[in-house]
Amino acid sequence: MKAIFAWRSGSLPEKRSIWTDYRGAGRYAPGYAGDVADPARTKRDWAAFNRPVIDKFRKDGGRTATRGGPVLLLTTTGARTGRARVTPLNFSRDGERFIVMASKGGSPTHPDWYRNLAVHPVVTVESDGERFTARATVSQGAERVRLLKIHTRAMPFFSAYERSVKTREIPVITLERSRLPSDRTSDSPPAGSPSARRVI
- How far apart CA 103 and CA 171 sit, in angstroms, is 7
User: pLDDT (tens digit, 9 = 90+) per residue, 5-54?
Assistant: 333 334 333 333 333 223 333 333 333 443 434 444 556 677 787 888 89
Residue 58 pLDDT exceeds 70: yes
Where exactly are the structural domains of the chain? 13-184
Q: Which fold has domain 13-184?
A: Pnp Oxidase; Chain A (2.30.110)
Residue range 71-84: mean pLDDT, rounded = 95
DSSP codes of every residue in 83-139: -EEEEEEE-EEETTEEEEE--GGG-SS--HHHHHHHH--EEEEEETTEEEEEEEEE-
